Amino acid sequence: MTDSSTNMRLKLPIVCFILEIILIILFGVLVEYDHDTDARDFHNMSHHDYENDFYYRYPSFQDVHVMIFIGFGFLMTFLQRYGFSSVGFNFLIAAFSLQWATLMQGFFHGMHGGKIHIGVESMINADFCTGSVLISFGAVLGKTSPIQLLIMAMFEVTLFSVNEYILLSVLGTKDAGGSMTIHTFGAYFGLMVTRVLYRPNLDKSKHRNSSVYHSDLFAMIGTIYLWMFWPSFNSAVTAHGDDQHRTAMNTYYSLAACTMSSYAMSALTAHDGKLDMVHIQNAALAGGVAAGTAGEMMLTPFGSMIVGFLAGIISVLGYKYLTPVLEEKLKIQDTCGVNNLHGMPGILGAIVGAVTAAVATKDVYGEGLHDVFPLVAEGKREASVQGGIQAVSLAVTLGIALIGGLIVGFILKLPVFGAPPDTICFEDNIYWEVSLRSFITNSTSHDQNQNNTHLHSLDNIDQSVH
């Protein structure tokens, strides 16, 4: 039987049932189809079927959905004995978060006559919010229980929606691909949570906080899915036409340039010139993060490539040199290195967005200025002011993320949530039915003595969790 402190027999069902019942009740009271989804509203406005927003947005939604459930899930399977939890807990908290996000974002953005109107665009936005939660999940990966993750998701979705409302609705910030609202927020919220949950004796589990050959291959599946679909992610909710087209293209070239610089920096920073799979799995994606804010702007193709090129360099340097410093000096145990993939590239993207906005002119954008910067086009705001607002938005995002993460971190420290002890973190066997003995026995290791040592260690683990 699992140790009483981590036993999920009653805790997890109670939390899941209560949360889902509350969601069902709130959806029943507050949620309605929007005009493109409701049979009466759509057909009463004499629309042709092909004018329904479904046909414009659903392909992008599919791509974003794949990123959330396959991309993020498999990217975190690099830990040698945490694959079930990486994919499984990703699945769990994403399923909860997208429902809660529909409500929270609806409260701030989609209320009509006291009802939340939902359609395919609200589905995309809910996935965006979920993506931010999954970024934070990466920071605490292997050190938290599924209940802690659900509680974290509940608070983070709420704070995400507040921050998004302040930026997009109050300040008039432009952040189509979410460099600030999704990546920067998720990264620094998660970093603050993991700082509060700091484990001084985590070195007792350090032998499991590593990858093996096949776990890195699984993680690379996540990388490839994320890389391929990131242009859809950044362009999913931009205006139809040239805005969406431009965003996808800017992201496309930013990712390509980022991959080149990531490979170069990985080899350059290794004493033997060998590539590090951690860098390739993660840093190669930083270009998508950095192109998020300015993606819909007239960044130009070569400008996008410069952004991606710099993002790859920054990300690899972060993994190589900054992550050890954060853990040693600031006590931030960032399992997936979200600061390097999402945090710093997100800040870079926000800065690029601020500069690009500050120099926007009618000569460059033409009538398209109304789509990208409507307040500037209408003469209500100077471009330089818009650039300043973009910069202020970054500070607002960091403030809400850090303070929110601090508070939620202390909530998650309550022992009732069933966190794993320091000695058996990064271990599927705590929460999943899994035969670790057969896994080790069938491994391809050439050293049988090493296998015997692993088997002896598993005997000790089994005694502690069963």
Cα 129 to Cα 5: distance, rounded to the nearest angstrom: 31
Q: What is the mean pLDDT of residues 420-426?
A: 93
- In this structure, the chain runs to a length of 466
**113 falls in which pLDDT band (50, 70, 90)?**
confident
366 or 113, higher pLDDT = 366
What's the rounded mean pLDDT across residues 13-36? 96
Between CA 261 and CA 267, with CA 263 as vertex, the angle to 5 degrees is: 115
What residue type is 416 in one-letter code?
V
With a cut of 70, say whether residue 410 has pLDDT above it: yes
Mean pLDDT, rounded, for 59-71: 97
Tell me the CA distances in angstroms from 329 to 104, 315, 322, 356, 369, one per residue in order: 36, 19, 10, 35, 46
> What pLDDT was estimated at residue 120?
95
Average pLDDT of span 161-179: 96
SS (H, E, C) 300-324: CHHHHHHHHHHHHHHHHHHHHHHHH
Task: Using alpha carbons, select from 462, 415, 439, 329 the residue that is nearest to residue 144.
Answer: 415
pLDDT in tens, 244-288: 999 999 999 999 999 999 999 999 999 999 999 999 999 999 999
Model pLDDT, residue 436: 53
Nearest alpha-carbon partner for 320 in 259, 269, 263: 269
- Give the pLDDT confidence score for residue 124 in this predicted structure: 97
Q: Which amino acid is at 285?
A: L
Q: List residues bridging with 31 in a β-sheet.
A: 116
Average pLDDT over residues 127-155: 97
Judge whether 322 and 274 are in contact, CB under 8 Å: no
CATH architecture assigned to 11-424? Orthogonal Bundle (1.10)
Comparing 88-102, 236-250, 355-369, 424-438, the range with the smallest average pLDDT is 424-438
When pLDDT is cut at 50, 70 and 90, the band that residue 448 belongs to is very low
In angstroms, the CA 21 to CA 269 distance is 51
Averaged pLDDT, 73-91: 96
% of the chain beyond a pLDDT of 70? 91
pLDDT tens figures, 366-379: 999 999 999 999 99
Q: What is the pLDDT of residue 46?
A: 60
Position 39 scores a pLDDT of: 85
For residue 141, is pLDDT > 90?
Answer: yes
- pLDDT (average), residues 146-161: 98
pLDDT, tens only, 329-346: 999 999 999 999 999 999
d(CA 426, CA 143): 6
pLDDT of residue 1: 37
pLDDT of residue 351: 98
User: Facing residues of 116 across strands?
Assistant: 31, 111
The alpha helices in 46-82, defined as continuous H runs, are 53-66, 72-75
Q: Are 338 and 193 in contact (CB under 8 A)?
A: no
Q: Mean pLDDT lowest for which of 97-101, 159-163, 458-462?
A: 458-462
- Average of per-residue pLDDT values in the chain: 91
Q: Is 462 a residue whose pLDDT tops 70? A: no
Does residue 443 have a pLDDT over 60? no
Q: What is the pLDDT of residue 41?
A: 77
Q: Report, as an integer, the average pLDDT of 156-183.
A: 97
What is residue 456's predicted lDDT score, i.e. its pLDDT? Answer: 52
Which residue ranges make up each domain of the chain?
11-424, 440-465
Q: Beta-strand (E) ranges in 102-229?
A: 111-112, 115-118
Tell me what pLDDT residue 49 has: 67
Task: Work out the end-to-end distance of the chain between its first and last CA atoms, rounded to an integer number of angstroms.
Answer: 4
DSSP state of 421: P
